[in-house]
Amino acid sequence: MDRLFEGVEVMATRGDVADQEVTSIEFGQQTRHPRALFFCPARRESDGHAFAPARRRAGAVGLLSSARWPLAVPQMVVAPGTARSAMARVACTFYATRARALMTVGVTGTNGKTSVTHLLGVDPR
């Protein structure tokens, strides 16, 4: 898991992050996957830190937070106000190999966008 934090300024760690296998990255109260790295960003409507204990019980293997939590889970602590940019960097690292496998095409114009996108979606094999 520590490879995910390349380029992220980590202020402190808690626990051993190197031995964890992360299979998903999540934030918010809706998602609950085991082996997830859970982000705890502060948002207008809620503070992601409030969901950290429930995510740990659901099987999260690590937290990215702007404060240390008294939970038995590896934690990466970033400076207050930097959690969102850290989330973006970690997501880019986590999904990088998957994103490189995708072909991205932009179609613009007045007419024919739907036809062109359907033609591009056809597998030529």
| Architecture label for domain 2-120 | 3-Layer(aba) Sandwich (3.40)
What are the tens digits of pLDDT across the range 3-55?
A: 778 888 888 888 877 677 888 888 766 667 788 888 876 655 556 666 777 77
Whether residue 119 is predicted with pLDDT greater than 80 in this model: the reply is: yes
What is the rounded distance in angstroms from the CA atom of residue 18 to the CA atom of residue 39? 17
Asked if pLDDT for residue 115 goes beyond 80, the answer is yes
Cβ atoms < 10 Å from Cβ of 76:
24
**pTM for the complete prediction?**
0.65
- Number of neighbouring beta carbons within 10 Å of residue 75: 21
Domain ranges in the chain?
2-120
Mean pLDDT of the chain: 78
Of 87 and 57, more confident: 87
Cα-Cα end-to-end distance for the chain: 38
